[in-house]
Structure 1
Amino acid sequence: MSVNSVREDEVMHDVPKTATLLRLYRYLFAYKKMLAAVALLLLVTLFITLATPLMIELAIDTYVANSDAAGLCRLAAVGLLLFLVHMVCTRCWMRMMADVTNKVLLTIRSQLYEHIQTLSFHFFDSRPTGKILARVIGDVNSLKDVLSDSVTKLLPDLLTVAGVACIMLVKSWRLALAALLTLPFLVAGMFLIQISAHKLWQIHRKKNSNLNAFIHESFSGIRIVQSFAAEPERQQDFERCAMEYRDSFIDAVRIGDTFGALVEITWGVGGFLLYFIGIRIIGADEIGIGTFLAFSTYLGMFWSPIRNLSSFYNKIVTNISAAERIFDILDTPAEITSLPGSTALPPVKGEVRFEHVSFAYPDEPDKPVLENISFTVQPGETIALVGPTGAGKTTIVSLISRFYDVTDGRICIDGFDTRHVTLESLRRQMGVMTQDTFLFTGTVRENICYGKSDATEEEMIIAAKAVNAHDFIMKMEHGYDTVISERSSQLSIGQRQLLAFARTMLSDPRILILDEATSSIDTHTELLVQSGIAAMLQNRTSFIIAHRLSTIRGASRIFYVDGKQILESGSHEELMAKKGAYYRLYQSQFECI
């Protein structure tokens, strides 16, 4: 199974930028009423902005030229009123747009998190957790300005450019053409720049993802790093990732900043052409001073939103890669889902049947892990799976819980094909314990009741007592209300596993899977928990994977798994009498002791 490491850039499918933008904007369109209100307020502010130069022209060419002080005062009063209206409208649309943007980001992040939870183990096995976090947090956050500016800047700036251009053409088409002569060169230059800029920002996002993955991996494994005094080596690796992140950012920004420079150059040339053509070619006598002043103002009003639009375009080029990475995850199909027409699995007795089951990982279909396996387990039986590492023992129990789908054959529980029942109804009746005990940040009570949030106090305590966890819990500072962290540093490995046993016990599964669940428990703790395990196994169909063969001697049957097959099957006594693979494995452990 191929794995994308913290040092490898992620591979993504190329998607047209327009398709990504339209998909992103669909989230905005869910708030049509608020967007309509924002648009209305923007139109009011735009009207006031466009009217200002005309009022200046009117003041100079009419009231000042005719020494009409009263008219000038009336015009000033109107201007003050319009300024106040502009200020109030601006504050309103800014607040409304911030609300819409934050709601959209919450929706995208929720959808992303919800979808990731549906993805199979293969998705998580094939990439570092830090790279997933980078998309859920950093990439979503980077969309905020794009979403907000799409309404608050793109719309008014486009309308401003169109409005100013129309006014200029009406007042003097020759001056307007002189001022706008450089616009085609700007458009062509921006198009060429964005091609390189987009690729560089994609690289930067990947380097950012690598850095996030490296940091997450380093701190998750800090005990190992410190145990091997490997801090200097990790520091060197960190600096290399940080340097790649920095260099990719500088490369992208260096290209992105040329947008602004290009606008400034074309703006300057356009201003020069306006005055040169207006004075030297058309003639200053044909154009009034007020008109010239109005044109100068409109020229600034034209190129200022052009500069804003180029900045927004640069922002899109910068952050469109984040949207691509988000949609790449959302478009990743959930390999394991409840199929259409699936029915809820009723309460089961616990019969498990494998019918000619074969399995290979999706990205390595030519390398089967299991081939043509068939067996039937009766309700209440305890099956032990033994064999060399990598033989497929964990794969077998993972297929029962449908964490993976079989490649060929089928698995039935009480006669129901596991692929044709809902995932929730299937997994609700499963209890899975692994050697990698995970506890959530919260109280002891919350961790034990995780699989059954409506459990009573009495049920929780009975479950804890059944696995001999109650006594050590009561010795903790706050008993069941003691807060533990994800790492549970205040608990020993054995205590963490006892809490996990209590959690499984409380959920009352019909089928129990113990995958090396006692491998990290010392001998003394194992003796304490054996009675708890015996209680869990009672009246349940159970599958136990264990390297300590002494712990599975009482199993109903033992499967020796190797070479993609179940090579031997029988009780401990039957397999020892055969003197086959299980016998040799047992003898080798006994000799080591």
Structure 2
Amino acid sequence: MFLIQQLSLKGFAGDTAKAHAKASMIAGEGVSNIRTVAAFNAQEQILSLFRQELLVPQRRSLGKSQKSGCLFGLSQLALYASEALILWYGAHLVRSGASTFSRVIKVFVVLVVTANSVAETVSLAPEIVRGGESIRSVFSILNRSTRIESDDPEAETVVSIRGDIEFRHVDFAYPSRPEIPIFKDFNLRIRAGHSQALVGPSGSGKSSVIALIERFYDPTAGKVMIDSKDIRRLNLKSLRLKIGLVQQEPALFAASIFDNIAYGKDGASREEVIEAARAAHVHGFKQRIAIARAVLKDPAVLLLDEATSALDAESESVLQEALDRLMRGRTTVLVAHRLSTIRAVDCIGVVQDGRIVELGSHAELVARPQGAYTRLLQLQQHRI
């Protein structure tokens, strides 16, 4: 009876976690996108969706609670009826001289305490099972070996690099979407000390070039080479020390500006950080802090992933000056959104459908009136 009582109490509210999941998702999306919700006056619509999704767990909870309540009541009735029966029989044994009062009470207390303990233990069985499943899940993650080992002791340590980069017959698809190819026989050569811009429509694979150079992923076929060496044979941690990255939306940590810049180089002195901040013209927005981070690192290879696309024209002009100084003498790969920012680079590549369809300087590509770069330029000028 104790067991039935404990199980009915645990099931009183019902297992509504899954039923609440969609309602929680709607609430979370509404809060995180509150500006969009307010801009479209969609507050009532979000509330309506939230209330509608709460109806399902409400119905489940009501039905489950009624069943659990009935079961709990029956278990209480059976519990006290069984105790009354035990005491009645004990009294009968004492009256007939078959036993003593102390023995009867001892047996009664032992039975009640033992039954309660067993019921408590057995009622925890579902939690014990779920706990075992969680532990197995955690250990399966801990025991899973990564395909990209950042500190492989057998890999070649990178002491210095010239910065010569080559993509040789590269095929690539993201692991989460293996059925959608990003690159198909992709080939690109970037000479050391030169700047290479990549332009093209969204989803063409521009940012994937940077992801492969940083070796966030490995190609499914072909090779990514740095100084004629397959980067899969190089120690990744030492290689990344030679590569600087400035992203479109750089991540800043909950620390001072000094600490955020110093993050770019282990053991950087105060003078080095101040000099990097001065070179990046740090005056208050995070894009310049990300550039100062890259300046401090003094990388041989610089990767710029649409570093100015989210800025206004005036901020972009100031930031572009800092980038131009940072690019001098380094192998630079730029993923560009605004074509006006890449006219001075050494080479521009137009990426379409996972391939380089045009390659050349700004002047060379503009000289092709029917070329892909010219069409992109005309389209952007038309939008402006």
> Scaled by the length of structure 2, what TM-score is found?
0.82
Partners of 2:319 and 2:128 lie apart in 1 by 58
Query: Secondary structure, in 3 states, of the residue corresponding to 2:265?
Result: coil
Residues 1:221 and 2:23 are matched in the alignment: no
Which residue identity is paired with 1:462? E
Q: Which has the higher helix share?
A: 1
Name the counterpart of 1:586. 377
Residues 345 and 304 from structure 1, CA distance in 2 versus in 1: closer, same or farther, beyond 3 angstroms?
same
CA RMSD of aligned residues (A): 3.6
Residues 1:507 and 2:297 are matched in the alignment: yes
Partners of 1:261 and 1:215 lie apart in 2 by 37
Partners of 1:255 and 1:543 lie apart in 2 by 65
Greater displacement, 572-581 / 527-536: 572-581
Name the counterpart of 2:286. 496
Partners of 1:327 and 1:234 lie apart in 2 by 39
- 1:255: Cα distance to partner? 7.3
Which residue identity is paired with 2:119? R
Residues 1:550 and 2:340 are matched in the alignment: yes
Q: State whether residues 278 and 284 of structure 1, in contact with CA within 8 Å, keep that contact through their aligned partners in structure 2.
A: no
Name the counterpart of 2:99. 287
Name the counterpart of 1:429. 242
Residues 539 and 243 from structure 1, CA distance in 2 versus in 1: closer, same or farther, beyond 3 angstroms?
farther
Which residue identity is paired with 1:566? I
Residues 251 and 436 from structure 1, CA distance in 2 versus in 1: closer, same or farther, beyond 3 angstroms?
farther
- 1:383: Cα distance to partner? 0.6
- 1:305: Cα distance to partner? 1.2
Query: Secondary structure, in 3 states, of the residue corresponding to 2:97?
Result: helix
Partners of 2:78 and 2:163 lie apart in 1 by 77
Q: State whether residues 94 and 100 of structure 2, in contact with CA within 8 Å, keep that contact through their aligned partners in structure 1.
A: no
Partners of 2:54 and 2:133 lie apart in 1 by 20
- 1:287: Cα distance to partner? 0.8
Residues 549 and 234 from structure 1, CA distance in 2 versus in 1: closer, same or farther, beyond 3 angstroms?
same
Q: State whether residues 263 and 306 of structure 1, in contact with CA within 8 Å, keep that contact through their aligned partners in structure 2.
A: no
- 1:556: Cα distance to partner? 1.4
Name the counterpart of 2:259. 446
Question: Mapping of 1:91-106 within 5 angstroms?
Answer: none
Could you list the runs of 5+ residues in structure 1 that have no partner in the other structure? 1-181, 474-494
Name the counterpart of 1:372. 185
Partners of 2:82 and 2:332 lie apart in 1 by 81
Residues 1:402 and 2:224 are matched in the alignment: no
Residues 219 and 332 from structure 1, CA distance in 2 versus in 1: closer, same or farther, beyond 3 angstroms?
farther
Residues 1:563 and 2:376 are matched in the alignment: no
Partners of 2:164 and 2:22 lie apart in 1 by 46
Residues 535 and 316 from structure 1, CA distance in 2 versus in 1: closer, same or farther, beyond 3 angstroms?
same
- 1:375: Cα distance to partner? 2.2
Partners of 2:330 and 2:209 lie apart in 1 by 18
Residues 284 and 412 from structure 1, CA distance in 2 versus in 1: closer, same or farther, beyond 3 angstroms?
farther
Query: Secondary structure, in 3 states, of the residue corresponding to 1:560?
Result: strand
> Scaled by the length of structure 1, what TM-score is found?
0.56
Partners of 1:254 and 1:323 lie apart in 2 by 34
Partners of 2:61 and 2:216 lie apart in 1 by 39
Q: State whether residues 205 and 322 of structure 1, in contact with CA within 8 Å, keep that contact through their aligned partners in structure 2.
A: no
Q: State whether residues 94 and 101 of structure 2, in contact with CA within 8 Å, keep that contact through their aligned partners in structure 1.
A: no
Name the counterpart of 1:39. none
Could you list the runs of 5+ residues in structure 2 that have no partner in the other structure? none
Q: Deviations over 1:421-480 (max 9, x none)?
A: 3432233332222222332233222222222353222222222222222xx35xxxxxxx
Partners of 2:50 and 2:156 lie apart in 1 by 50
Residues 1:462 and 2:253 are matched in the alignment: no
Query: Secondary structure, in 3 states, of the residue corresponding to 1:424?
Result: helix
Length, aligned pairs only = 378
Residues 459 and 355 from structure 1, CA distance in 2 versus in 1: closer, same or farther, beyond 3 angstroms?
same
Q: State whether residues 510 and 541 of structure 1, in contact with CA within 8 Å, keep that contact through their aligned partners in structure 2.
A: yes
Q: State whether residues 259 and 311 of structure 1, in contact with CA within 8 Å, keep that contact through their aligned partners in structure 2.
A: no
- 1:358: Cα distance to partner? 0.4
- 1:382: Cα distance to partner? 0.7
- 1:350: Cα distance to partner? 1.3
In the alignment, which of 142, 149, 153 is matched to residue 337 of structure 1?
149
Percent identical pairs in the alignment equals 31
Q: State whether residues 383 and 558 of structure 1, in contact with CA within 8 Å, keep that contact through their aligned partners in structure 2.
A: yes
Q: State whether residues 429 and 510 of structure 1, in contact with CA within 8 Å, keep that contact through their aligned partners in structure 2.
A: yes
Name the counterpart of 1:535. 325
